[in-house]
């Protein structure tokens, strides 16, 4: 079994790490596009072009499934990629509004994501379909991916964002960018017992099993 994992930067490494634990005998390939990251401030057309170019090695090597381990790339490109490569299974990442809405007790959740993800049709549709009964905060995380990539994330900034969310009643925090997986511990630490942190690693593994019937 061969799985390709793509992200604009180091976020995909976190996803690949989890997949290697779930599928120890799989050949898991990774590709990142650090030259052009962050994707979160680019327009959809450019994200589609960059993503398709980046996944070409996966297509050529016959990957059984390709994981777009990037919420921004998923939001902008996955529908186009499925049209262009109809026999290639893809798994994309979605901000977890549906499970967050089901989990919240206060009725207030926070989605931490890039501007491109928050402005995408897929995200807005997800909000419409699953977020109608909850209040959704979308704090400004526009420079987080770049800072994480440069190992320059400011803990005080994380604490400020999370404390502001908690003050608004947030009890579920969704990580809508795989770069943020690298600071999940710090985010959870800032939230303490007042909010749970959701990210999609387990859901990706389940979807791999479903698509490949394993």
Number of residues written out for the chain: 214
Q: Which helix (H) or strand (E) holds 205?
A: helix 201-212
Q: Is 63 a catalytic residue?
A: no
Q: Is 70 a catalytic residue?
A: yes
Q: Residue 167, Cβ neighbours under 10 Å: how many? A: 9
pLDDT tens digits, one per residue of 137-175: 999 998 898 888 888 888 998 999 999 999 999 999 999
Tokens of 115: 């501007």
Please check the confidence at residue 106 and state whether its pLDDT lies above 90.
Answer: yes
Q: What percent of the chain has pLDDT above 70?
A: 100
**How sure is the predictor about 92, in pLDDT bands with cuts at 50, 70 and 90?**
very high
Residues 50, 64: Cα–Cα separation, whole Å = 21
Residues 4, 58: Cα–Cα separation, whole Å = 6
Name the residue with higher pLDDT: 194 or 206.
Answer: 194
Domain annotation for the chain: domains and CATH numbers:
2-93+201-212 (3.40.50.1860), 97-198 (3.40.50.1860)
Residues 144, 112: Cα–Cα separation, whole Å = 10
**Selected catalytic residue, list 63, 70, 141, 165:** 70
**Selected catalytic residue, list 63, 141, 165, 177:** 177
Q: Report which of 81, 62, 6, 65 is spatially closest to residue 210, judged by C-alpha positions.
A: 65
């Amino acid at each position: 079994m061969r799985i390709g994992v793509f992200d604009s930067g180091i976020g995909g490494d976190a996803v690949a790490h989890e997949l290697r634990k779930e599928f120890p005998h799989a050949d898991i390939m990774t590709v990142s596009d650090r030259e052009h990251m962050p994707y979160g401030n680019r327009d959809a057309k450019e994200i589609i072009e960059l993503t398709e170019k980046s996944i070409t090695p996966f297509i050529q090597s016959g990957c059984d499934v390709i994981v777009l381990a990037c919420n921004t790339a998923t939001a902008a490109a996955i529908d186009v990629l499925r049209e262009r490569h109809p026999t290639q299974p893809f798994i994309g990442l979605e901000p977890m509004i549906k499970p967050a809405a089901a989990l919240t007790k206060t009725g207030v959740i926070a989605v931490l994501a890039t501007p491109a993800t928050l402005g995408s049709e897929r995200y807005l549709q997800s909000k419409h379909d699953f977020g109608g009964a909850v209040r959704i905060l979308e704090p400004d995380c526009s420079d987080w991916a770049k800072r994480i990539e440069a190992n320059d994330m400011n803990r005080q900034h994380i604490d400020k964002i999370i404390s502001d969310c908690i003050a608004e009643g947030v009890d579920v925090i969704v990580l809508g960018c795989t770069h943020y997986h690298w600071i999940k511990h710090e985010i959870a630490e800032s939230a303490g017992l007042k909010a749970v942190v959701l990210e999609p690693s387990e859901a990706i593994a389940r979807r791999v099993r479903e698509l490949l019937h394993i």
